[in-house]
Amino acid sequence: MDILVLGAGLVGGPLAIDLAKDDRFSVTAVDLSKDALQKLVNYPVKTVPMDLRFPEEVTRLAGRYDMVVNAVPGSLGFQTLKALIWAGKDIVDISFFPEDPMELDEIARRKNVTVVTDCGVAPGMCNVLIGHADSLLNETEKVVYYVGGLPEIREWPWEYKAVFSPSDVIEEYTRPARLVENGKIVEKPALSDLELIDFPGVGTLEAFNTDGLRSLLKTIQAPDMKEKTLRYPGHAEKIKILKETGFFSQEEIGFNGCSISAVDFTAKVLFPKWKLKENETDFTLMKVIVEGKKDEERLRLTYDLFDKYDASTGVHSMARTTGYTATVTLRMIIDGLFREKGIIVPEMIGKNPDCVKYLLNGLKERGVVYRESVTTLSADQKSL
């Protein structure tokens, strides 16, 4: 099969390499950056330099391939996905765009294609596991998950590095966080409800609200749900200072006869500071907790992930946990385990135990291991 990967950055590149290891696939990676494509020359991956900002060109290109992985930046994600659907191709999407993917469901069904969106680690595998836990319970009472990707070595002042573009990270820090409290969707500022949590082997991290529930707000009927992002202690306060000072403003300002938005300037300055360099070690930490009733018992289902940079391949942990979720999902679709058409959010896959087993096994083969535990709660035991 001919597989097209749009985007060959820190996630798209390793993703393309993983697919190219499969003898069934001929893989082509597309990116505007010749430097990103150059990193693939030693692998059996064909490369095409191309500007992906033009939907008509994307549709025309995709028509030559059997299946597509969309790994473009979030700002291009929605229009690129729409262009791929018009090409009539099955798609796995990790662009994490802010728009509602269900707006494309009618087109996807009309084109008879399977489109799995938000198919990374969070959103992504956390949704799969939440959907799986929800299907095991008679009544889901509470969902909370903590997730973060961090450098192993803390460097002042930010003590943070990213595999995604700074603008996508800044969006996470500025967009109001939607949570579910007492059965109602509420909005809170990003970075709010700060708490300190100890993680064995890692130490103390801070956790704060972010807008990561996305499709879970509609698909999981739990009266309490929230996502919290993990960072080293003190990071949120520094971000708040930038935010309150106006460095994340979209409004353009004049400077020496030029015009630029504050957030574009900030992203440009922060990118060299936040970019994970080659061979720079990182780790991904996630804890998913789902509580509810099963027959006469109250249960707490917990899924833990701790993944580190792979020195043998030089692939960063966030690229592994995000990209390999997408590549295993693509294989799952090709192998015929999941056949539903339209826009598919990952928690829908979690309802199928065979699909969950396939994903967990495929990730484990790549060293990405999720550990499950089930605890019985007493009737009066306090929820998390």
Measure the CA angle with vertex 96, ends 252 and 193; round to 5°.
Answer: 75
104-129 pLDDT, tens per residue?
Answer: 999 999 999 999 999 999 999 999 99
- If you average pLDDT over residues 203-223, what whole number do you get? 97
174-186 pLDDT, tens per residue?
Answer: 999 999 999 999 9
Q: 16: closest CA among 39, 41, 45?
A: 45
Map residue 88 onto helix, strand or coil. Answer: coil
Q: How remote is the C-alpha of 233 from its chain's centroid?
A: 23
Q: How far is CA 37 from each of CA 59, 284, 374, rounded to the nearest angstrom?
A: 21, 25, 44
Characterize the bridge pairing of strands 224-231 and 203-209. antiparallel
Q: Dihedral, CA atoms, 100, 101, 104, 105, nearest 10 degrees?
A: -110
User: What is the number of other CB atoms lying within 10 angstroms of the CB of residue 231?
Assistant: 21
Rounded percentage of the chain residues whose pLDDT exceeds 90: 87
pLDDT exceeds cutoff 60 at 89? yes
Show the DSSP H helices in 225-316 as ranges.
235-245, 262-274
Burial 64-98, CB ≥16 within 10 A → b, else e: ebebbbbbbbbbbbbbbbbbbbbbebbbbbbbbbe
Q: Is the peptide bond before 123 cis (omega within 30 degrees of 0)?
A: yes
The predicted pLDDT at position 271 comes to: 85
pLDDT exceeds cutoff 80 at 166? no
pTM of the model: 0.94
In the numeric block, the tokens 């590149």 are attached to 13
Q: Which domains does the chain have, with CATH numbers?
A: 2-122+319-365 (3.40.50.720), 125-316+369-377 (3.30.360.10)
245-266 pLDDT, tens per residue?
Answer: 999 999 998 888 889 899 999 9
pLDDT exceeds cutoff 80 at 378? no
Characterize the bridge pairing of strands 195-199 and 114-116. unpaired
279 pLDDT band (50/70/90 cuts)? confident
- If you average pLDDT over residues 66-82, what whole number do you get? 95
Please, what sign has the CA dihedral across residues 206, 209, 210, 212? positive
Measured between alpha carbons, how far is 245 from 263 in angstroms, rounded to an integer? 11
304-358 pLDDT, tens per residue?
Answer: 999 999 999 999 999 999 999 999 999 999 999 999 999 999 999 999 999 999 9
220-248 pLDDT, tens per residue?
Answer: 999 999 999 999 999 999 999 999 999 99
pLDDT exceeds cutoff 90 at 359? yes
Mean pLDDT score across all residues of the chain: 95
1-46 pLDDT, tens per residue?
Answer: 999 999 999 899 999 999 999 999 999 999 999 999 999 999 999 9
pLDDT exceeds cutoff 90 at 167? no
H/E element holding 373? strand 370-377
- If you average pLDDT over residues 63-81, what whole number do you get? 95
383 pLDDT band (50/70/90 cuts)? low
User: What is the number of other CB atoms lying within 10 angstroms of the CB of residue 247?
Assistant: 17
